[in-house]
Structure 1
């Protein structure tokens, strides 16, 4: 299975394609949000809609009774193609697609010491200039294993200014790897 790295981990290529379709359908945000909420709060719903022993007709009936009208056709296509199990990945890909269209870049900052507001503002200005973004959405994660400094991840790019990263690079130079 082909996978593409994104800010929260890995999304299957199928999930990214379905996310693109969902974005192109221009389904109202309220319907997508309600579908996501229903999917997350119910343990049985994902199991039933992903279960190959449950007939497509039964799955369609469940979809018609539970989900918003605007999402029903999309969800039926997912269950018909046995892709209901990747719905969370699809929502993740959809959010990324929506943010990209709005000029929002997500920056993941792993740090040992929380940066000062001034430092964060300078990083944000650099990110906007470098990535041609209108806005930066921050994900801040404390990581003591870095020993010092930080790692900034933006899309598929990673900027490692951590002490651990410098030690690793020094070790590579010394051992000629």
Structure 2
């Protein structure tokens, strides 16, 4: 992720564009690769890109959004629109004090175990809520791995095996 995409994502959030509207725009962009190609193409003039932006994004009824998209095209940044959406979502979660984490498991946790993991993460990071994605990963053999941001909590059999192996190799 480039700093430019991060900055654009933050600005999009600060403009007050709702998450629902961002989801609609994301669906529009995902459903029309020709649109992304045309607005990111350096051969297409900025004036033509601005006309396309007016026609396509004016239906959302938000002048700030239209101006944002025009600025993005003027600065040749439309090719990173998906990164901008990702950063918008990340920044929105931060502002709403929502921690995003992924739980990798072999067998699905019970509701009680899931609540315990969420409580642990809320205490550890001081968040109000946790958005927990769950991914089945049979190669862990047993246990689980929690990944959030740049931290990982590995309580899997595979992780313990690798740790033990590393210790034995170091001797």
TM-score relative to the length of structure 1: 0.88
Deviations 1:99-157 (A, max 9, x none): 11111111100111111111111111111111111111110000112111111012221
C-alpha change, 1:166 and 1:30, in structure 2 (3 Å) is: closer
The number of residues matched between the two structures is: 167
1:19 counterpart residue number: 9
Instruction: Tell me what 1:85 maps to.
Output: 79
Q: For residues 83 and 22 of structure 1, what CA distance do their matches in structure 2 show?
A: 13
1:129 to 101, 105, 123: 123
DSSP-derived class of the 1:113 partner: coil
Change in CA separation of 1:107 and 1:30 when aligned onto 2, cut-off 3 Å? closer
Quote the Cα distance in structure 1 between the aligned partners of 2:111 and 2:23: 32
Higher normalized helix content (fraction of residues):
2
Cross-structure match for 1:8: none
Q: Does residue 34 of the first structure (1) align with residue 24 of the second (2)?
A: yes
SS in 1 for 2:50: helix
* Alpha-carbon distance in 2 for matches of 1:130, 1:164: 24
Name structure 1 gaps, 5 residues minimum: 1-10
Partner of 2:92: 98
Give TM-score scaled by structure 2 length: 0.91
Separation in structure 1 between the aligned mates of residue 114 and residue 146 of structure 2, nearest angstrom = 11
Alpha-carbon distance between aligned partners in 2 of 1:111 and 1:31, rounded to the nearest angstrom:
33
- Deviation of the 1:46 alpha carbon: 0.8
Structure 2 alignment gaps of length 5 or more: none
Please give the root-mean-square deviation of Cα atoms over the aligned residues, in Å.
1.5
Q: Distance in 1 between matches of 2:163 and 2:108?
A: 24
Q: SS of the residue aligned with 1:161?
A: strand
8 A Cα contact 1:28 1:70, kept in partner = no
